[in-house]
Amino acid sequence: MATVFFGTVVHTKSFSEFESFESGFLVVDDCGKIIGVGQDYQAWASNNPTQAKGLIEVKLSEYQFLMPGFVDCHIHAPQFAQLGLGLDMPLLDWLNTYTFPLEAKFSNQQYAQQVYQGVVETTLRCGTTLASYFATNHLESTLTLAREAVRQGQRALVGKVCSNCNSPDYYVETAEEAVNATVAFVDGVRKLGSPLVMPTITPRFALSCSKELLMGLGDVAKRFDLHIQSHISENLAEIEIVKGIFKTSYAKAYDDAGLLTNKTVMAHGVHLEDDEVSLLKIRGCSVAHCPASNTMISSGLCDVQRLVSAGLHVGLGTDVSGGNSVSIQDALLRALDVSKHLDFFKKQNIRGTGVAKTQDQNYIPLKYKQALYLATLGGAKALSLDQLTGNFVLEKEFDALLVDVSIVEKPLRRLSVDELVERFIYTGSDRNIVEVFVAGKRIKRG
Ligand code: GUN
Ligand code: FE
């Protein structure tokens, strides 16, 4: 049913443009599209008399506001099974010790169903209305993940992970198998017929893919005009090995296979060289900043301001389970933390790996409204889905959160609109997210 919300409405229009309507309104039509938003409902209703008829009215309290849903640009769905465990090693040891053995278990459909149901439920509860998921090498269980997102009504990109080398023999495929299964997966997702869930081409990372496999996946992406996701320049040891194998930069290894497009999102980019950042910019690629994971598995401090200033689209990723939290609200806070730490290093002129590329006495740390952008519209842009979602622009789909900052601790005084948002960002949790909507459909009910 078409609905009008009355109350505080906030969203972002760009990295540095935050917009709010105090005592505002937002109208959603029967199809889940936003058809009215702003300050003056009476003016809207008199200009749109037909649409204003018979609307269900929802009045928000003084401690509530509507905001766009969170976008998780990088999450490994199977790794939900080891969330918060095994965070005592850097990337390559972590993969071999914990993660590859875990992912190999997804040949079992029952296990996959159980974990995937849990990860979709939990991310939705935490306000993720759009997620870009890595699954595993297995075609069948990756289709299970896609079906689960459709069933629960989450907007998602889902990728069958591909890896054919430098992987354990119990969890590896040939290039031909990986490409064929990817094509079958794309077909399988299309047959689900959901407007919410789309396939995305997913080479695990250059280290576990031969040139032949990368090229094969680049061809499939081009043939079907698909989204692409992978990892780039996350960890120093990994980068050295990739450069040794491909005899070129990390970014160039992907570019040579046609995998850098305006529908590509690369996770991390902690240690990208300037020429790699330029190449990503030229190709229109995006970066998923994953601060929790970068800290947990000791990858380094990613200078997100540098990537944004270079003109890249940047969103946030939880990178479950390298990251220990499923929540993009947590990622947002961790992005603010990392930026404050970098600020300290830069102002103290402390040099070192992961900090060396960022020397800047004039560095300005990320602000909470900018981080909110990264968590919503920035993420939608990074996934090339901002024509559909990410903020409250007319004709976009209503992917939204109803937040109530009085749920855990009732504020001692009335808060301004900015303060409501600030309080939620710095102290809130999924308990404050009382309702979650995807394409106008209420998924979580307070
Ligand atoms: N690089 C290759 N695979 C992975 C993974 O599963 N997690 C992270 N954080 N980095 C990776
Ligand atoms: Fe990852």
Do 239 and 157 lie in a common domain? Answer: yes
Three-state secondary structure of 362-409: CCCCCCHHHHHHHHCHHHHHHCCCCCCCCCCCCCCECCEEEEECCCCC
pLDDT at 105 over 70: yes
Looking at residue 348, its pLDDT comes to 81
Do 78 and 226 lie in a common domain? Answer: yes
Nearest residue to 357 (alpha-carbon basis) of 369, 342, 367, 338: 342
Structural tokens at position 149: 């997102």
Do 227 and 302 lie in a common domain? Answer: yes
Looking at residue 1, its pLDDT comes to 83
Closest-approaching ligand to the CA atom of 82:
1
As a whole number of angstroms, the distance between CA 126 and CA 415 comes to: 23
- Identify the weakest region by mean pLDDT among 127-136, 195-204, 234-243, 350-359: 350-359
Domain boundary among 355, 383, 411: 383
Stretch 179-207: mean pLDDT, rounded?
98
Do 151 and 260 lie in a common domain? Answer: yes
Closest-approaching ligand to the CA atom of 239:
1
Do 278 and 416 lie in a common domain? Answer: no
Output the residue whose Cα is nearest ligand 1's atom 8: 322
Q: How many domains does the chain have?
A: 2
As a whole number of angstroms, the distance between CA 250 and CA 240 comes to: 9
Stretch 258-287: mean pLDDT, rounded?
98
As a whole number of angstroms, the distance between CA 271 and CA 198 comes to: 30
Looking at residue 358, its pLDDT comes to 53
pLDDT at 375 over 60: yes
Domain boundary among 365, 383, 401: 383
Do 379 and 410 lie in a common domain? Answer: no
Do 298 and 357 lie in a common domain? Answer: yes
pLDDT per position as a tens digit, 234-247: 999 999 999 999 99
As a whole number of angstroms, the distance between CA 308 and CA 374 comes to: 10
Do 135 and 78 form a contact (C-beta atoms < 8 A)?
yes
Contacts of 97 (CB under 8 A, 6+ apart): 86, 89
Ligand 1 atom at shortest distance from the alpha carbon of 79: 6
Probe residue for ligand 1, chosen from 204, 233, 299 as the CB with the greatest number of ligand atoms within 8 Å? 204
Kindly give the distance from the C-alpha atom of residue 35 to the centroid of ligand 2, in angstroms, as a whole number.
36
pLDDT at 94 over 90: yes
How much of the chain, in percent, has pLDDT values that exceed 90?
94
Do 28 and 98 lie in a common domain? Answer: no
Do 35 and 134 lie in a common domain? Answer: no
Q: Which amino acid is at 237?
A: A
Looking at residue 357, its pLDDT comes to 55
DSSP of 123-183, one letter per residue? HHHTTEEEEEEE--S-HHHHHHHHHHHHHHT-EEEEE-EE--SSS-TTS---HHHHHHHHH
Kindly give the distance from the C-alpha atom of residue 179 to the centroid of ligand 1, in angstroms, as a whole number.
20
pLDDT at 19 over 60: yes
CA dihedral 210, 213, 218, 223 (to 10 degrees): 170
pLDDT at 355 over 80: no
pLDDT band, very low/low/confident/very high, at 216 (cuts 50, 70, 90):
very high
Q: Which amino acid is at 421?
A: V
Contacts of 144 (CB under 8 A, 6+ apart): 109, 112, 113, 116
The CATH number assigned to the domain holding 51 equals 2.30.40.10
Stretch 409-437: mean pLDDT, rounded?
96
Domain boundary among 383, 405, 430: 383
Kindly give the distance from the C-alpha atom of residue 334 to the centroid of ligand 2, in angstroms, as a whole number.
16
The CATH number assigned to the domain holding 174 equals 3.20.20.140
pLDDT at 45 over 70: yes
As a whole number of angstroms, the distance between CA 156 and CA 365 comes to: 31
Ligand 1 atom at shortest distance from the alpha carbon of 231: 1
Task: Tell me the three state secondary structure of residue 47.
Answer: helix
Kindly give the distance from the C-alpha atom of residue 42 to the centroid of ligand 2, in angstroms, as a whole number.
47
According to DSSP, the residues that pair with 241 across neighbouring strands are: none
Q: 413-421 contacts: CB < 8 A, separation 24 or more?
A: 414/62, 415/63, 417/8, 417/10, 417/20, 417/22, 417/65, 418/20, 420/8, 420/63, 420/65, 421/10, 421/20, 421/65, 421/67, 421/368, 421/369, 421/372
Residues framing ligand 1 (Cβ under 6 A)? 76, 91, 95, 99, 204-205, 231, 234, 293, 319, 322
Of the two residues 345 and 390, the one the predictor is more confident about is 390
Could you report how far apart the first and last alpha carbons of the chain are, in Å? 18
pLDDT at 400 over 80: yes
Do 299 and 397 lie in a common domain? Answer: no
pLDDT at 170 over 60: yes
Looking at residue 354, its pLDDT comes to 58
Q: Which residue has the tokens 């005899």?
A: 247
Secondary structure letter of residue 95 according to DSSP: I
Do 330 and 72 form a contact (C-beta atoms < 8 A)?
no
As a whole number of angstroms, the distance between CA 118 and CA 137 comes to: 19
Do 241 and 254 lie in a common domain? Answer: yes
Output the residue whose Cα is nearest ligand 1's atom 3: 204
Probe residue for ligand 1, chosen from 163, 234, 254, 287 as the CB with the greatest number of ligand atoms within 8 Å? 234
**Residue 282 sits in which domain range?**
70-383
Looking at residue 361, its pLDDT comes to 74
pLDDT at 352 over 70: no
pLDDT band, very low/low/confident/very high, at 359 (cuts 50, 70, 90):
low
pLDDT at 356 over 60: no
pLDDT per position as a tens digit, 307-345: 999 999 999 999 999 999 999 999 999 999 999 999 988
pLDDT at 446 over 80: no
Probe residue for ligand 1, chosen from 80, 89, 91 as the CB with the greatest number of ligand atoms within 8 Å? 91
Kindly give the distance from the C-alpha atom of residue 322 to the centroid of ligand 2, in angstroms, as a whole number.
7
Ligand 1 atom at shortest distance from the alpha carbon of 99: 6
Do 163 and 296 lie in a common domain? Answer: yes
Looking at residue 408, its pLDDT comes to 84
Nearest residue to 318 (alpha-carbon basis) of 14, 66, 77: 77
Kindly give the distance from the C-alpha atom of residue 158 to the centroid of ligand 2, in angstroms, as a whole number.
13
Question: To the nearest whole number, what is the mean pLDDT of the chain?
Answer: 96
